[in-house]
Amino acid sequence: MVFTVIEMMGVKKMAFVFRILLKTIVPLPFVLFALVISCPGISAAEKKGLEGVDCDIHSNPCTGSLPDCKVTLDIQPKPVKAMRDLTFIVTLSGKKPSAVPYIDLGMPGMNMGPNRVSLKALGKGVYEGKGVIVRCPSGRRTWKATVTVPESGAVGFIFDVVY
């Protein structure tokens, strides 16, 4: 059958098609490589976040600051594992927020879609909620929990999970 196609097209036409294929297919891996290296759509700050973890959530709670309050995040049980029910505990010290804070979970530099942990007030600046950190098909284990305190701002914590 292959010989029939070549005979029908003729050697010159086949050579022409082959040259076009070489011009379009061969550069494709180089273009894809360049796109992966340049990481389009990722800011310099997000690229920096890809470099490392700033929170050892397995050992102790993590703390960050906003202009009018200190934010502490803890996740239970430890070690923090993907695909398990987790309890997220946020403690605020300083100005009382106008509304209940919340947590958005994602991976640094990657759009994971919405994964929000709704928190409930327990009293004395402590908030708690349940959530799950999903397992990334890429095998990456680095996650970011962004705690948003209404009218005060947001603080992010980058940590690794266990698979």
pTM for the full predicted model: 0.69
**9-66 confidence digits (pLDDT tens):** 565 665 665 566 456 555 555 544 443 444 334 444 444 444 578 999 999 999 999 9
Mapped to the 3 state alphabet, what secondary structure does 98-127 carry? Answer: CCCCEEEEEECCECCCCCEEECEEEECCEE
Q: Is the dihedral of CA 160, 52, 135, 63 positive or negative?
A: positive
Going from N- to C-terminal start, the domains of the chain cover 2-38, 50-160
pLDDT digits (tens, 9 = 90+) for 97-115: 999 999 999 999 888 889 9
Reported CATH class of domain 50-160:
mainly beta
* Rounded-to-integer distance, Cα 149 and Cα 15, Å: 65
Average pLDDT over residues 74-78: 97
Write out pLDDT tens, residues 137-147: 888 999 999 99
Tokens 């009218």 correspond to what residue?
151
Joined together, the tokens standing for residue 147 give 């705690």
Confidence of residue 163 (pLDDT cuts 50, 70, 90): confident
